[in-house]
Amino acid sequence: MFMAKKKVNPLKLLSSVKVVLVGTTHPGNIGATARAMKNMGILNLALVNPKEFPSDEAIYRSKSAKDVLEKAKVYKNLHDAVSDCELVIGTSARGRKVPWPVLSPKESANEVAIHSLNNKVAIVFGREDRGLTNTELGLCNLHVHIPSDPEYSSLNLSQAVQILVYEIRVAIIEDHKDQDYWDVELATNEQTEHLINHMDELMKEIEFYDIENPRKLLLRVRRFFKRSGIDVMETNIFRGLFAAIQKKLK
Ligand code: SAH
């Protein structure tokens, strides 16, 4: 039995994701981060205590992602920057004293893809010289480590951002690729009921069936509309048609 699902536009889910940079020292890294994000369709940037912002160097390094910088929100602390998020993922270039669930970029991107449907998600990046503090990492639900060489494990900030936003984009698109985006909201149960009643009204007016003996006709009509996964616009088309026929009959 076919039943149209409520379809989602996977690219819209990317707007549930925000990148948070904590205590960034080099404005060039902020600009390069904006570019890395926009290349992957992730546009929400939050900055916690940046050393220098706004900055010409950041704009220069962002190339065509100046709009991401202009929209960026600045916060005094990480707590405020992530308070509206249901899932917060912290990044770490090395192991920490207090173990926390640590995922790979791909695993964390899968978590993001699942949560992006109904929730806001933040990915948090640390300072160039010292990363995130233990207190900041403690605000996060999960930690992610990019499996780099232990001899030199710390990537450039914007390059670490690039890897994670890329994985998130791929995970979100993979998760939803067999669900084509549907352009109209599905009809509610009430709207479908109104449509079925309207059709019944019309069928009676044209004496389409014997009112004393409707047999299973109404049930079959009902079943047809219920299983069709009809959307709001389709409902309106049918109701418009029934109304036009009723008007001609008068
Ligand atoms: N010396 C710092 C490294 C900071 S690198 C430290 O030991 O923590 C700046 C930021 O880039 C990090 O806070 C993290 O957000 C990100 N980053 C760099 N390398 C990473 C890696 N291998 N895995 C995850 N994030 C990384």
Give yes or no for residue 23 CB within 6 A of ligand 1: no
Give the Cα separation of 191 and 186 in Å (integer): 10
Query: Atom 26 in ligand 1: which residue has the minimum CA distance?
Result: 93
Give yes or no for residue 25 CB within 6 A of ligand 1: no
Q: Where are the domains of the chain?
A: 10-174, 189-249
Give yes or no for residue 107 CB within 6 A of ligand 1: no
Candidates 3.40.1280.10, 3.30.70.270, 3.40.250.10, 3.30.70.120; CATH matching 10-174? 3.40.1280.10
Instruction: Give the model's pLDDT for residue 6.
Output: 54
Beta bridge partners of 48: 22, 75
Give the Cα separation of 111 and 95 in Å (integer): 21
> Per-10-residue mean pLDDT for the chain, 250 residues long?
58 93 98 98 98 98 98 96 91 77 94 88 97 90 93 96 98 75 79 94 94 85 85 96 96
Give yes or no for residue 153 CB within 6 A of ligand 1: yes
**Sign of the CA dihedral with 12 first, then 74, 88, and 39 last:** positive
Instruction: Give the model's pLDDT for residue 173.
Output: 87
Give yes or no for residue 91 CB within 6 A of ligand 1: yes
Instruction: Give the model's pLDDT for residue 227.
Output: 82
Is residue 126 within 8 A of residue 78, CB to CB? The reply is no
Instruction: Give the model's pLDDT for residue 188.
Output: 86
Is residue 41 within 8 A of residue 11, CB to CB? The reply is yes
Candidates 1.10.3720.10, 1.10.8.590, 3.30.70.20, 2.40.50.140; CATH matching 189-249? 1.10.8.590
Task: Return the amino acid letter for 94.
Answer: R
Task: Return the amino acid letter for 248.
Answer: K
